[in-house]
Amino acid sequence: MSCADYNESIADFVDGTLDPARHRALERHVEGCAACRALVADLKSIQAAAFTLDRLELPGHLWNAVQARIPEEGKPSGARLLAFPRTPAAMGWWAAAAALVLATTLGIYTVMRPENPHAGDTAAVASDPADAGDVVASVQAELQAAEEHYDKAIQGLEQIARSESGALDPQVAAVLQKNLSVIDQAIGESRTALQQQPASADAQDSLFDAMRSKVALLQQTVELINEMRKGNQAEAGRLIQGLNQ
Amino acid sequence: MSPSKTTGDVRNADLELAGRIRSGDGTAFETLYQQHAPRLYNLAYRMAGTATDADDLLQDIFLLAYRKVSSFRGESSLGTWLYRLAMNHCLDVLRSRQSRQEQQTDSLDEDGAAPPPAAPALGAVSRIDLDRAIGRLPRACRAAFLLHDVEGFGHQEVGTILGISEGTSKSQVHKARLRIRAYLTQPRAVSD
């Protein structure tokens, strides 16, 4: 066998993984081959020196530098709904989203607040036969207006989500989508029930509850945006946990 | 000890630490940093060759780790996961840099080239010279050598970190040692 045939054995020998049979064969070869003997010795020396190479001390300022850059990163992937906006344009989008959701919330709240005789106390008002038809029509009109606010908000948010899709973590987005789907289904079922029984207080309450849930989810989203923009990781994490429930 | 030991307890601890980081626990992320940054800093330094580059690389590595921690599933230790991320980043940066010095080195030491001819006996190895020789290695060889001979990973772990087979790791490390030997035994006036 030539020296080249022992190349792999020498590598394993230096690593300490050479099996006994090949070990004996290599020993016999090395006894009579000065070049391979020198090679084995040198590789062992290099390996030993490598293990004892000087270690540079970790500069203390690096942790501060990493910490300073963390807010730019937003939440770790998997717990992130929306990354921090970094550009003025992106900031504008998020501000628009927050304003849009806030306006929708106020709009729906105006229609559905308890003092509104056409919404919170519909059943009592409808008990007056003379006004019942007008009240039902009025409530339906206001519900329609509320739904338009709601649809407008969703369209706006969807547009923003599309433009900022890179910043939206897929896992959290999926949770949001799931929650939205559940609420949308409840809204759809309530709307169907209301079409069948326009004066039904239960159907109205059910629709209002579903829409309130939608508003609450949108409010949570706005809060999350704000906390992430402020770099408040703990509060953002709490809000994300809330979205998962 | 290799930073990648994966007993059940260690793996559970890694998963718990990663979970805390995911949930926004700043102290958990600092723990990860304290555990691994000193060794990763040295690895980055020897991959890049300068302390300034190592500073930048280490910051990038931990920001990447923060961003990607949700991808840690516990299949390997958190240390192995972090080293893989670190080496990928270092290799990406070095690849994109395309320095003239590296091109010269690569032209002399292309992967697959025959082992250097027999050299005179080396004797004691100066650590300064060894550092210099490591800096002259092609990237792939350098990465495998640093992980195995300097950081103490086994070939299987080196393979996991670099995305290569165990056999390729053995081959790369051996090749690296041969090239270091050739560098250390050559006349210095030419290159140094």
Backbone phi and psi for residue B152, each to the nearest 5 degrees, phi listed first:
85, 15
Contact status, residue B159 vs residue B166, Cβ threshold 8 Å:
yes
Backbone phi and psi for residue A221, each to the nearest 5 degrees, phi listed first:
-65, -45
Q: Which residues belong to CATH 1.10.10.10 in chain B? A: 100-185
Q: Which residues belong to CATH 1.10.1740.10 in chain B? A: 8-97
A77: pLDDT strictly greater than 80:
no
Please give the C-alpha separations between residue A39 and each of A1, A22, A195, B116, in angstroms, as whole numbers. Answer: 17, 17, 90, 11
B32: pLDDT strictly greater than 90:
yes
* Spatial distance between the Cα atoms of B115 and A219, rounded to a whole number of angstroms: 67
Between B58, B171, B177, which is nearest A46 by CB?
Answer: B177
Contact status, residue B46 vs residue B131, Cβ threshold 8 Å:
yes
DSSP code per residue over B119-176: -----SPPHHHHHHHHHTS-HHHHHHHIIIIIT---HHHHHHHHT--HHHHHHHHHHH
* Spatial distance between the Cα atoms of B84 and B123, rounded to a whole number of angstroms: 34
Residue from B88, B192, B191, B186 nearest B139 by CA: B88
Q: What is the pLDDT of residue A206?
A: 73
Average pLDDT over residues A212-226: 62
Residues contacting residue A18 through CB under 8 Å, at least 6 positions apart: A9, A12, A26
Residue in chain A lying closest to B142 (CA): A50
Interchain proximity B145–A69, CB inside 8 Å: no
Return the CATH fold of B8-97.
Rna Polymerase Sigma Factor; Chain: A (1.10.1740)
Q: What is the pLDDT of residue B23?
A: 87
Local structure of A108: helix, strand or coil: helix
Interchain proximity A78–B120, CB inside 8 Å: no
Please give the model's pTM, rounded to 2 decimal places: 0.57
Q: How far away is chain A from the Cα of B1, in angstroms, using its nearest Cα? A: 12
Average pLDDT over residues A147-159: 59
Query: What confidence tier does A82 reach under pLDDT thresholds 50, 70, 90?
Result: very low
pLDDT in tens, B99-140: 555 555 544 444 444 444 445 556 677 888 999 999 999 999
Residue in chain B lying closest to A76 (CA): B67
Please give the C-alpha separations between residue B35 and each of A142, B28, B30, B39, B82, in angstroms, as whole numbers. Answer: 60, 11, 9, 9, 11
pLDDT in tens, A91-120: 444 455 555 555 555 555 444 444 444 443
Q: What is the pLDDT of residue B11?
A: 77
Q: What is the pLDDT of residue A228?
A: 58
Token duo for residue A34:
């000065």
Instruction: Give A160 or B142, the one with higher predicted confidence.
Output: B142
Percent of chain B with pLDDT over 90: 62
Residues contacting residue A4 through CB under 8 Å, at least 6 positions apart: none
Which of A44-58, A193-207, A230-244, B81-95 is predicted least confidently? A230-244
Average pLDDT, chain A: 68
Q: How far away is chain B from the Cα of A212, in angstroms, using its nearest Cα? A: 28
What's the longest Cα–Cα distance across chain B?
58
* Spatial distance between the Cα atoms of B74 and A59, rounded to a whole number of angstroms: 30
Token duo for residue A81:
């709904």
Average pLDDT over residues A221-232: 58
Token duo for residue A208:
């209002």
Token duo for residue B84:
């893989």
Query: Does domain B100-185 sit in CATH 3.40.190.10?
Result: no
- The complex scores an ipTM of 0.82
Q: What 8-state DSSP symbol labels residue A144?
A: H
Q: Is the dihedral of CA B45, B51, B56, B62 positive or negative?
A: positive
Instruction: Give A43 or B3, the one with higher predicted confidence.
Output: A43
Please give the C-alpha separations between residue B168 and each of A110, B12, B141, B157, B158, in angstroms, as whole numbers. Answer: 69, 30, 10, 12, 10
Chain A hits for B168, CB-CB cut-off 8 Å, are: none
Question: Is the minimum CB–CB distance between B50 and chain A shorter than 8 Å?
Answer: no
Q: What is the pLDDT of residue A85?
A: 34
